[in-house]
Chains A and B, each alone.
Chain A
């Protein structure tokens, strides 16, 4: 009853239970945080805009992205993954989401940023619908915790209308 094995077993079980409880509590108290991030994006230039030989439209653009995501960070936050997506509908597809730029924010100090960039991933439509198309810029974020549940949300920002002609 009071052998070494039993005591070691009881100690281990207790330690693991406490650890699991603490992980759960850390994850639960993330729910108390109500973030209020802000973001802005500005298209500076359409670098080029053309139809690929296979018939799909492709566009390349240069943008200014600024955001303040400091309120997303809590003590259980390991990193925040943030990306800017172009979202639009076409007669063929009810929803197209194309990631244009993304980044990993490791700490709260880096969460207020400003970046001047051209699109990191290719902006290609499935088909030829981009001439004169208006799409929405959406900033998505994905909060990765040290442990527990992951959170994701987005803000929809101003739209942008692509030019009528290829260039």
Chain B
């Protein structure tokens, strides 16, 4: 009866070792993705270095599903730049173009007015009630680069969560079942 116990022990130890390896490799994948994201945050100085365009207000320049790379530098904001800004009371940031800039002589603060290229009027209707200008703290970054279509992945995933779960499940299964 001794040998049975030995075999069971060896199988158990094997399985634990294998499970541990899988867990570690899964952890490596997750953490390396996190490292890349945080490194991008450091390099670009923007809290979300990559944004997906969700509306058609900047067509035909940016369509829904395009990806924008943001950069936030100390340089002053000027007319014509495409900025991503947050309005108080709105959760989703907006990507629009600056059409008016007034920069203070003494403090260097800026008043900025934006407009979507495809919209008829300026953005005062989108701002908080009674707000006429955007200030520096509303602005999350300016768009510097552009990649088409890639953002559709995230749009589909947020709108059809089932696809997201299927994808995560399949990837997880792949990682767990792969032998080497």
Instruction: Tally B residues with Cβ within 8 Å of A.
Output: 27
Asked if A81 and B117 make an inter-chain contact with CB atoms under 8 angstroms apart, the answer reads yes
| In the complex, chain B residues whose CB is within 8 Å of the CB of A79 | 60-61
Q: List 26 A-B contacts (CB under 8 A).
A: A23-B147, A79-B60, A83-B80, A92-B105, A93-B102, A93-B104, A93-B105, A96-B103, A97-B79, A97-B102, A98-B79, A98-B99, A99-B99, A99-B100, A102-B117, A106-B60, A126-B111, A142-B97, A144-B61, A145-B146, A146-B148, A147-B148, A149-B144, A150-B146, A152-B81, A154-B80
Within the complex, which residue of B81, B97, B145 is in contact with A149, where a contact is CB–CB below 8 Å? B145
Q: How far does the alpha carbon of A65 sit from the alpha carbon of B82 in the complex, in Å?
A: 24
Within the complex, which residue of B61, B101, B144, B174 is in contact with A96, where a contact is CB–CB below 8 Å? B101
CB proximity of B146 to chain A, nearest CB, Å: 6
| In the complex, chain B residues whose CB is within 8 Å of the CB of A78 | 60-61
CB proximity of B121 to chain A, nearest CB, Å: 9
| In the complex, chain B residues whose CB is within 8 Å of the CB of A126 | 102, 111
Interface: B164 (CB within 8 A) = no
Interface: A85 (CB within 8 A) = yes
Give B contacts to A, CB under 8 Å. 60-62, 78-82, 97, 99-105, 108, 111, 117, 122, 143-148, 174
| In the complex, chain B residues whose CB is within 8 Å of the CB of A99 | 79-80, 99-100
Interface: A53 (CB within 8 A) = no
| In the complex, chain A residues whose CB is within 8 Å of the CB of B81 | 152
Asked if A144 and B78 make an inter-chain contact with CB atoms under 8 angstroms apart, the answer reads no
Those of A48-86 within 8 Å (CB) of chain B: 78-79, 81, 83, 85
| In the complex, chain A residues whose CB is within 8 Å of the CB of B103 | 93-96
Asked if B100 and A81 make an inter-chain contact with CB atoms under 8 angstroms apart, the answer reads no
CB proximity of B84 to chain A, nearest CB, Å: 14
Asked if B146 and A147 make an inter-chain contact with CB atoms under 8 angstroms apart, the answer reads yes
Q: How far does the alpha carbon of A78 sit from the alpha carbon of B79 in the complex, in Å?
A: 21
CB proximity of A152 to chain B, nearest CB, Å: 6
Within the complex, which residue of A83, A93, A102, A144 is in contact with B146, where a contact is CB–CB below 8 Å? A144
Asked if B99 and A92 make an inter-chain contact with CB atoms under 8 angstroms apart, the answer reads no
| 7 nearest CB pairs, A to B | A97-B79, A99-B99, A97-B101, A95-B103, A140-B80, A94-B105, A144-B61
Asked if A121 and B145 make an inter-chain contact with CB atoms under 8 angstroms apart, the answer reads no
With A99-B80, A150-B143 already in contact, 17 other A-B pairs whose C-beta atoms are closer than 8 Å:
A5-B174, A92-B105, A93-B102, A94-B104, A96-B101, A97-B78, A102-B99, A102-B117, A106-B60, A121-B99, A121-B122, A140-B80, A142-B82, A145-B146, A148-B146, A149-B145, A150-B146
Those of A93-151 within 8 Å (CB) of chain B: 93-99, 102, 104, 106, 121, 126, 140, 142, 144-150
CB proximity of B19 to chain A, nearest CB, Å: 21
Q: How far does the alpha carbon of A96 sit from the alpha carbon of B100 in the complex, in Å?
A: 8
| In the complex, chain A residues whose CB is within 8 Å of the CB of B145 | 27, 148-150
CB proximity of B106 to chain A, nearest CB, Å: 9
